[in-house]
């Protein structure tokens, strides 16, 4: 169901990958996000390279996408997980290296706390790899205090 009768909601999705051709995986995912049912890609941040946070493995390639979607938050989450699975995402243990990671960061002004989904994303304000690209496309959503809090995390534009 695409929800043709639903209003468009602005949603933000964090993208990351650090296995295989990580840059290509993130670029392909950005393209795929704009092709989801009832959804268009409104903006995408530049790509960033960042060190893993609370994990090992190679550096990540990260970005944030802004979507206009008619999907509900659970429908959008399901679509994101389908894209991850198609990219070979496995979940052998928490914070394992990833072929593709797609996190629903924000869904309009919604506050959701369910067993499957928490929005806004509970750790987004702790991660430079989310805040820096988010600030590029939605500077009103990221405060200077947020950026100062993550200033010690290694991140650079690709």
Annotation marks residue 89 as catalytic: yes
Give the number of other Cβ atoms within 10 Å of residue 59's Cβ: 16
Annotation marks residue 106 as catalytic: no
The catalytic residue among 49, 70, 103, 132 is 103
The catalytic residue among 23, 24, 59, 89 is 89
Q: What is the 3-state secondary structure (H, E, C) of 19-63?
A: CCCHHHHHHHHHHHHCCCCCEEEEEECCCEEECCCCCCCCCEEEE
The catalytic residue among 70, 101, 127, 132 is 101
Q: How far apart are the first and last CA of the chain?
A: 37
The catalytic residue among 98, 106, 127, 132 is 98
Q: How far is residue 134's CA from residue 30's CA, in Å, rounded to a whole number?
A: 14
Annotation marks residue 136 as catalytic: no
Q: What amino acid positions are annotated as catalytic residues? A: 89, 98, 101, 103
């Amino acid at each position: 169901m695409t929800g043709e009768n639903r209003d468009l909601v602005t949603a933000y999705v964090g993208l990351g990958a650090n296995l295989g051709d990580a840059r290509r995986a993130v670029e392909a995912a950005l393209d795929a996000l704009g092709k989801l049912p009832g959804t268009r890609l409104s903006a995408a941040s530049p790509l960033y390279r960042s060190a893993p946070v609370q994990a090992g493995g190679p550096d990540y390639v990260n970005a944030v996408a802004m979507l206009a979607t008619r999907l509900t938050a659970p429908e959008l989450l399901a679509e994101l997980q389908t894209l991850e699975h198609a990219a070979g995402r496995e979940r052998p243990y928490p914070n394992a290296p990833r072929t593709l990671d797609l996190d629903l960061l924000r869904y309009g002004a919604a506050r959701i706390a369910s067993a499957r989904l928490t929005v806004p994303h509970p750790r987004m304000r702790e991660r430079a790899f989310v805040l820096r690209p988010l600030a590029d496309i939605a500077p009103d959503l990221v405060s200077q205090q947020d950026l100062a809090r993550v200033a010690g995390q290694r991140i650079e534009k690709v």
